[in-house]
A and B are shown apart, each in its own frame.
Chain A
Amino acid sequence: MADRHLEPDTPELRARWGNWTWNEVNAKKVPDIIARYPEGRQRSAVMPLLDLAQRQIGAETQTQGWLPIPVMEYIAKELDMPVIRVVEVASFYTMYNLVPVGRFHVQVCGTTPCMLRGSDDLLTACKARGMSKGHNSADGLWTLTEVECMGNCASAPMVQINDDNYEDLTAERLNFVLDELAAGREPKAGTQEPGRHTVEPVGALSTLKQMVSENHDYRGEW
């Protein structure tokens, strides 16, 4: 995150993105999104619109998508708000990409639970495939980012790739997922542990055993 920056505003960038507009499908969604917010509060739509723009650009460029300056200006104009306020929002939230990314944005969690469960191996596996932190791989397929806790500590270690989480990873399992993605298939999202469905205890129950047969909660039911 520390190296987040805006893509420089160059004539080439303006030439490439200056005429960007919503595609036909999204153009129909925009008024609906804006209408979700109360009259006079249309600026609130900036976040969904930035997301929509990023996704559209992702579809157009076969990547996860990103937000060039002219696109942010386009959205600012659409919502009648100062551009700097749009850029503030886009630069604050890390899920908005400010620079071009690869087709798959591999976000490896490196916070304590994941690290204890082997996230270092995952990073090594990623690097072995030619990825490096904060950069796009040469084939344009991957962008690697190390991120802080994504809230999947019960199935650590995890990575987030575009819209899906892959959990209970080992280097081999991650390699399998990446291979599948590279081949254009859709590997199962969520936990990669055979036999595990979500984040239920692995093997037998280890805590709250008494609750199986009888309710001990202070609430009537749970």
Chain B
Amino acid sequence: MPKVTVDGVELEVPAGATVLQACELAGKEIPRFCYHERLSIAGNCRMCLVEVAPGPPKPQASCALPAAEGQTIRTDSEMVKKAREGVMEFLLINHPLDCPICDQGGECDLQDQSVAYGRGASRYDEHKRAVTEKYMGPLIKTTMTRCIHCTRCVRFSEEVAGVDEIGALYRGENMQITTYLEKAAHHEMSANVIDLCPVGALTSKPYAFEARPWELKKTLGIDVSDATGANIRIDSRGREVLRVLPRINDDVNEEWISDKARYQVDGLTKRRLDRPWIRRDGKLQAATWDEAFAAIAKVKPGASVAAVAGDLLDCETQFAAKKLVGALGSSLLEGRQTGMDYDVSSLAAVNFNSTFAGIETADAILIVGSNVRWEAPLVNVRLRKAVKKGAKVFLVGQQWDTTFGGEFLSEDLSVLGNLPAHVSDALSKAERPAVILGGAALAKGALGAGLGLVGQFNLVRDGWNGFNVLHLAAARMGGLMLGFAQKGGIADLVAAKPKLVFSLGADEMDFAKFSDSIVVYIGHHGDKGAHAADIVLPAAAYTEKAGTYVNTEGRVQFAEKAVFAPGDAREDWTILRALADALGVSVGFDSFDELRAAMVAEVPALGEEGLAAYGSLPAGGGSADGVFGYPIKDFYLTNPIARASEVMQRCSAELLHGEDFAEAAE
């Protein structure tokens, strides 16, 4: 714990801290471009210069200098001021100063810092360097003349994403950042370099020239594109969501989000259901709310009713549906659309118990039936960190392109009962062993066999729970907490032959099995679910309603409403409340607050932000075998919003199916 003095204030800093961190602890702002907390130190922008004694009598780059006992650091001296002005002037020599036409304007580190630390005028009247544009794929727009060579993007793709494809070619003044042969960046986290870029060299292509940051309303939300529940900021103007950015939450998404979470939002304005539809003579025809409710009331279902929850739902919608179905006298609720029927008597057994931050510290990990890179890109980043710290990773299932190495053991689940000696050796000797079961493994009935490993390798020990299930749907854990699960899965609903089926944004289920029922689709996109429905009620997407979400770790998180749903569409809970009137039953709430209060009264964990407690793991048993495929066939098109999104469609075509969209040179 070295003691240093920053601008006359003495303080103790943690061992291993840099001078820059020491200054921050002292509350001093140090300008920087290349330094980033989550990336390695490069020390090449020189903006963080400070005066340090003892040391050479010149400014020093504080980001790369370890804080040492007895240092006297000055951040406010004349030398530091002049040094910053000098660096700023050099950086601006080749920067085009085209802020009025640059999308970074208003949220640009270079702009802000030149105002705060620059000289205010330039002495440079030579020619400026110009760099040709580089193609980086459908998501990243490049203006490489603006690049200041901080290499944050290079370090991100090498260290965090684990896909080495961005590099700095040539040298000196001619240095250029590019992807290899100007191919599109090929990974699920690629667009995070846009946030990292301190200038306008890498900006968002779909969002190009859409808005200025100060025009946007910023709403705190939770991402629903996968089950990790990434914390997002929804930027909207008027009734349109223009972009989604990550929020910092070290427990969940650090400060990254997947490309799908970021860019599916253009799908929110396309293929939307903005009025009710009723199927007449085999064709869906536009209708009014009254007609739709009358048509539903006419079914007179009695207690013969069921509800299927979709993958993107918040807890409130599911609770409202549960109350409605319950008031009608039924308890047929299911959220696992694809027919999975794993045992949910203990939620601890279907939870990601290690937590995302915890899995980083695991030292031996067995992944069973999960293409983590596609199913939860943010967890993949954590796994890569674990491997960098020395963890051994073994995988069961078909080969996929991991970013962290790992050993594929077998495609057959039967290997779980008969692990190779070196694998069981690694797991039993590990201090923090972990097992991750994916959706594919659950679908094959491997939950029991997976739980069997808990005892075999002592996965649960003091301060550590190494048993994890990685879900795919944002709604899953919330749904399970609210009881959206039947013993036999969705087959139980089919067997009950309900007269009326509420499909709450369920698009992945097999509607043919409910051909004798009246299917009411309550959702926001004209996707598979709406096509198969008899009555369609337009509802709100995740940006258009406040809600509670539970991620696959069992972390309860709240999201706020960013915009209003389009046309006649309404928030889901109001639709379900109105349906109660139409069907002549009472659900016991009239406002969103009452609904939430009733929900929290029933499931108290949903009222509290943070990890829900699910008790201890049940005993495992049973065996599993069989070869399986992964549930996600196309990373960019997993939900109705993404399928409606032009950006996601193009990503799928270009990045996964190799279609050529390379643009002609301008």
- Evaluate contact between A84 and B180: CB separation under 8 angstroms: yes
Q: Tell whether A4 pairs with B174 under 8 Å between CB atoms, given A69-B181, A84-B180.
A: yes
Q: How far is the CB of A40 from chain B (nearest CB, A)?
A: 14
In angstroms, Cα B170 to Cα A82, docked, is: 17
User: Is B241 interfacial (CB-CB < 8 Å)?
Assistant: no
Interface centre among B164, B168, B169, B181 (most CB of A within 10 A): B169
User: Is B167 interfacial (CB-CB < 8 Å)?
Assistant: yes
- Evaluate contact between B181 and A9: CB separation under 8 angstroms: yes
Residues of A within 8 A of B168 (CB): 88
In angstroms, Cα B167 to Cα A92, docked, is: 11
1/0 per position for A148-170, CB-CB distance to B under 8 A? 00000000000000000000000
- Specify which of B164, B171, B173 is in contact with A84 (CB 8 Å cutoff): B164
- Evaluate contact between B164 and A87: CB separation under 8 angstroms: no
Q: Tell whether A88 pairs with B174 under 8 Å between CB atoms, given A9-B181, A69-B181, A83-B180.
A: no
Q: How far is the CB of B173 from chain A (nearest CB, A)?
A: 8
Q: How far is the CB of B547 from chain A (nearest CB, A)?
A: 42
User: Is B109 interfacial (CB-CB < 8 Å)?
Assistant: no
Q: Tell whether A87 pairs with B180 under 8 Å between CB atoms, given A82-B164, A82-B165.
A: yes
Given A84-B165, A88-B169, A91-B171, 11 more pairs with CB closer than 8 A: A1-B174, A2-B174, A4-B174, A82-B164, A82-B180, A84-B179, A84-B180, A88-B167, A91-B169, A92-B169, A92-B171
Q: How far is the CB of A12 from chain B (nearest CB, A)?
A: 15
Residues of A within 8 A of B173 (CB): 2
1/0 per position for B153-166, CB-CB distance to A under 8 A? 00000000000111
User: Is A85 interfacial (CB-CB < 8 Å)?
Assistant: yes
Residues of B within 8 A of A85 (CB): 164, 167
Q: How far is the CB of B149 from chain A (nearest CB, A)?
A: 13
- Nearest opposing residue in chain A for B176, CB measure: A91
- Evaluate contact between A84 and B167: CB separation under 8 angstroms: yes
Q: How far is the CB of A9 from chain B (nearest CB, A)?
A: 5
Beta-carbon contacts under 8 Å, B123-180 to A: 164-171, 173-174, 179-180
- Evaluate contact between B167 and A87: CB separation under 8 angstroms: yes
In angstroms, Cα B181 to Cα A4, docked, is: 15
- Evaluate contact between B170 and A4: CB separation under 8 angstroms: yes
Q: How far is the CB of A83 from chain B (nearest CB, A)?
A: 6
Q: How far is the CB of B537 from chain A (nearest CB, A)?
A: 51
In angstroms, Cα B179 to Cα A87, docked, is: 11
In angstroms, Cα B168 to Cα A2, docked, is: 15
- Evaluate contact between A91 and B165: CB separation under 8 angstroms: no
In angstroms, Cα B167 to Cα A8, docked, is: 17
Q: How far is the CB of B5 from chain A (nearest CB, A)?
A: 40
1/0 per position for A77-109, CB-CB distance to B under 8 A? 000001111011001100000000000000000
In angstroms, Cα B135 to Cα A9, docked, is: 15
- Evaluate contact between A87 and B169: CB separation under 8 angstroms: yes
Q: Tell whether A92 pairs with B170 under 8 Å between CB atoms, given A82-B164, A84-B165.
A: yes
Residues of A within 8 A of B169 (CB): 6, 87-88, 91-92
In angstroms, Cα B174 to Cα A88, docked, is: 12
In angstroms, Cα B167 to Cα A83, docked, is: 10
In angstroms, Cα B180 to Cα A88, docked, is: 10
Residues of A within 8 A of B171 (CB): 91-92
Interface centre among B164, B165, B180 (most CB of A within 10 A): B180
1/0 per position for A1-21, CB-CB distance to B under 8 A? 110101001000000000000
1/0 per position for B517-561, CB-CB distance to A under 8 A? 000000000000000000000000000000000000000000000
Q: List 15 A-B contacts (CB under 8 A).
A: A4-B174, A6-B169, A82-B180, A83-B180, A84-B165, A84-B166, A84-B167, A87-B169, A87-B180, A88-B167, A88-B168, A88-B169, A91-B170, A92-B169, A92-B170
Residues of A within 8 A of B164 (CB): 82, 84-85
In angstroms, Cα B180 to Cα A69, docked, is: 10
Q: How far is the CB of A1 from chain B (nearest CB, A)?
A: 7
In angstroms, Cα B171 to Cα A27, docked, is: 31
Q: How far is the CB of A14 from chain B (nearest CB, A)?
A: 12
Residues of A within 8 A of B166 (CB): 84
Residues of B within 8 A of A9 (CB): 181
In angstroms, Cα B169 to Cα A61, docked, is: 26
In angstroms, Cα B173 to Cα A4, docked, is: 12
Residues of B within 8 A of A1 (CB): 174
In angstroms, Cα B163 to Cα A84, docked, is: 11
Q: How far is the CB of B144 from chain A (nearest CB, A)?
A: 14
In angstroms, Cα B167 to Cα A20, docked, is: 25
Q: How far is the CB of A148 from chain B (nearest CB, A)?
A: 11
- Nearest opposing residue in chain B for A88, CB measure: B167
Residues of B within 8 A of A6 (CB): 169
In angstroms, Cα B181 to Cα A69, docked, is: 9
Q: How far is the CB of A197 from chain B (nearest CB, A)?
A: 35
In angstroms, Cα B180 to Cα A92, docked, is: 15
Residues of B within 8 A of A82 (CB): 164-165, 180
In angstroms, Cα B180 to Cα A9, docked, is: 11
- Nearest opposing residue in chain B for A3, CB measure: B174
Q: How far is the CB of B1 from chain A (nearest CB, A)?
A: 33
Q: How far is the CB of A188 from chain B (nearest CB, A)?
A: 34
- Nearest opposing residue in chain A for B169, CB measure: A91
In angstroms, Cα B167 to Cα A6, docked, is: 14
